[in-house]
Amino acid sequence: MKLALVGDIGGTNARFALWRDEQLESVSVLATADFDTPEAAIEQYLDEQGVAPGSLGAVCLACAGPVSDAQFRFTNNHWRINRDGFCQRLQIDQLLLINDFSAMALGMTRLAEGEGLQVCPGESDASRPFVVIGAGTGLGVGTLLAQADGSWTALAGEGGHVDLPIGSAREAQLWQVLYRQLGHVRAEDVLSGNGLLVLYRAMCELDGVAPELLGPAEITTAALAGDATASAVLEQFCCWLGRAAGNNVLSLGARGGVYIAGGIVPRFAEFFCHSGFARCFSDKGCMSDYFTGIPVWLVTAQYPGLMGAGVALQQQNQG
C-alpha cells in the first residue's frame, strides 16, 4: 500500500502518524484548539515531515463521534469534515473515517508485550466479543469481534452516553446531586477528565466539604498523596467505570474480555488495580457469577488508536 496517513482525533488532541509497511512512523500530537480545521492541522504535520502534497495514497481518521458518509461533526471539539472538500484539499483519493473507539478496539489486536496490565484474571474466549472502554476527554466504548479469516470487526457505538449506572445507596445520593446540576446524567458526565471534577464537586456538596481542588490533575495528585476526599472521588470513579464496563459485558455477552483504554486511568494504574473496580465490575446480583473468568486488562500502550486506524485502513485495502 502507498504511503498513508492515520489520525486519532479526540476532543483535545489530534494524533497523526504516517502508515507504512503496517507500522506507525513519525507520531505527532497537536492540540485541536490550535487549528481551525483538521485539514490545516494535517497540512502542518505533513510539512513538518517533509511529505509533499499529493504524496499520500490514503488517509484514515479515527474520529470522536458518530461517523456519517459525507459530513462529520466532532462531538467534543469545533472541527468538521466534508469528505469531498477534504479529499480535494489534501489531494487524496481515499478517506476512511471510523469511530475513535472502533479504532481503539482494532488497536487491541496489535498490543505488544508489556503494553497492558491484567486487572482481573481469566481466560479469554476469542469466539465471543471483547469490550473496549476508556475515559479521556469523553468516555468511549467499542466492541471487537474476531472473524474466521483472521481479520477483526469493530462495532461503532456511543456507549459513553448511556445513563450512569447506580449500584448503591451512596451512588444514588451522588446521582441526585448530579441530576440537580446536570439534568440527564450520562456515564460520560462522570467518567471523563472533566467528569472527575464534576464528581469531586458533587461529592463535596453531598458531604458538606468546601471544594478546594480546581481540576482533574489536581484531584488525581491529591488522591495519590493520600487526601481523603480526593481518594474517595478517585475510588468512586473506578467503581463507576467497573459498573459501566460490566453492563457492556452483559449486553454483549463479552466473554472475550475487557480492555480499559483511554488517557486517564493509566495515570493512576496502581490505585486503579487496587480499587473497587473489579468488585463493581461483577456486582450484578443474580448474574454476578457470569463474570467469573472474564479477563480485564488496563492498556498502557501509547498510541493504540493510531495503530487501530492503520489496521482499519489495511483491512479495507486487503478486503
Cα–Cα distance, 15 to 38 (Å, whole number):
11
Give the CA-trace dihedral at 310, 313, 314, 319, to 10 degrees. 160
11 annotated ligand binder? yes
- Cα-to-chain-centroid distance, residue 266: 12
21 annotated ligand binder? no
Cα–Cα distance, 76 to 137 (Å, whole number):
8
Is the separation of the CB atoms in 182 and 190 below 8 Å? no
8 annotated ligand binder? yes
Q: Strands 13-20 and 4-9, how do they pair?
A: antiparallel
7 annotated ligand binder? yes
3-class SS letters over 149-172: CCCEEEECCCHHHCECCCCCHHHH
273 three-class SS: helix
Residue list, annotated binding site for ATP: 7-12
Binding residues: 7-12
